[in-house]
Amino acid sequence: MKIFLYILYPFSLLYRFLFWWQQKGIKSFHLPNVLVVSVGNITVGGTGKTPFVQYLVHFFKETYPGYAITILSRGYKAEKSRDGAILPNESDPKLYGDEPSQHKEVFPDVQVIIGRDRKKAFLNYNKFQSSKHIVILDDGFQHKALHRDFDFVLLDSNSPFGNGFTIPLGFLREPIHHLKRADAIVFTKLTSNHQQKLKKYTNLLNHAGINTPVFHSTFKASISEVIIDQSFSKKSYEPNSDGKYFLVTGVGNPNHVYSTAKLTLDSVRIRKKFFPDHFEFHSGSLESLVDEIEVGEILVTTEKDWVKMRSNLPFVQTLEKKKIRLLLILIQVCVNEDQKIKSMLAALVSTYEAKIDQVSKI
């Protein structure tokens, strides 16, 4: 272990310098007459950005129904990311990315735009003409090219800072003290086992001079069964402790998905197969997957994975032909300080509305 420390430490320092140099030369662009709320993190791996983005969309849709809402994402590994694109209602994850496609499925009336150059993508593809417009910048903490009115940074309660080192020695995308740029820090995936650890992490933040408001959230998981036909509609599923399950997922934190599946399904008879995050489920991998399913096993996956799997028609037809049942793990964010965080957002919108009114009078 010490050998790796000595070998990788200089590269970690080099990464920090290059990150600083790259950020130093970027000027932030203000999207005209738009309120920009960013959701990001400071580590590689899954911190729960996708369900938190959806938590924000639900809040803004319900509280401000007259507003236009856009989710702006890079579209990681999406074929159309380079030139940018606006997602249609039926979007192929291979073209548009898995998280953006998932967002569009959940919120068909919300505009979802992807692009490596997010400023250019928004200016080219935005179709909303509303005078009041909220843009949620997905994975935006390091995207200095766009000005943000509010920065949420999510930290996984299981290991918020990894070993404390930046890439490649650790998992940090930037040093911990950069959290001073955040407007709110949210510890995600909280359980009763994290209480003592959270005190240590909070003390660490205070010691680093970070006085940013801190929130805590849990994941509320549920299970639905997918009806394998053209509709892909969902129905309720009653967990069975005697059931046999085969979990397949390719997300940033697969072990958390596995532990969630065990709790939600109330079963220890769960085999698992993990793929890398943003894995592209091609025909070969899906055929192999079907062959691995044992007699009587039920296939279990996440919404993010299913969006990609179901675009492969032969795979879906095989599931239907072999009568293989499929369950989805559905995740909903529950913020412990829900009213407090919504009050902050309401104050943010009020400030934005005042600016818009002021501009309209000029």
Is 50 annotated to bind a ligand? Reply is yes
Rounded Cα distance, 33 and 359, in Å: 9
Is 202 annotated to bind a ligand? Reply is no
Is 252 annotated to bind a ligand? Reply is no
Is 46 annotated to bind a ligand? Reply is yes
Is 308 annotated to bind a ligand? Reply is no
- Size (the chain), residues: 362
3-state helix, strand, coil in the chain (%, to 5): 40, 25, 35
* 209 SS3 class: coil
Nearest CA among 153, 130, 137, 199 for reference residue 48: 153
* Tokens encoding 169: 């020695």
Rounded Cα distance, 296 and 267, in Å: 15
Is 47 annotated to bind a ligand? Reply is yes
Is 249 annotated to bind a ligand? Reply is no
Please provide the distance, in angstroms rounded to a whole number, between the alpha carbons at the two ends of the chain. Answer: 63
Is 44 annotated to bind a ligand? Reply is yes
Question: Which helix H or strand E contains 100, and what residues bound it?
Answer: helix 98-106
Rounded Cα distance, 96 and 85, in Å: 8
Structural contact between residues 37 and 136, judged by C-beta atoms closer than 8 angstroms = yes
Residues 6+ away with beta carbon under 8 Å from 44: 167, 171, 173, 252
Rounded Cα distance, 114 and 144, in Å: 16
Residues 6+ away with beta carbon under 8 Å from 160: 43, 187, 201
Binding residues for ATP: 43-50
Binding residues: 43-50
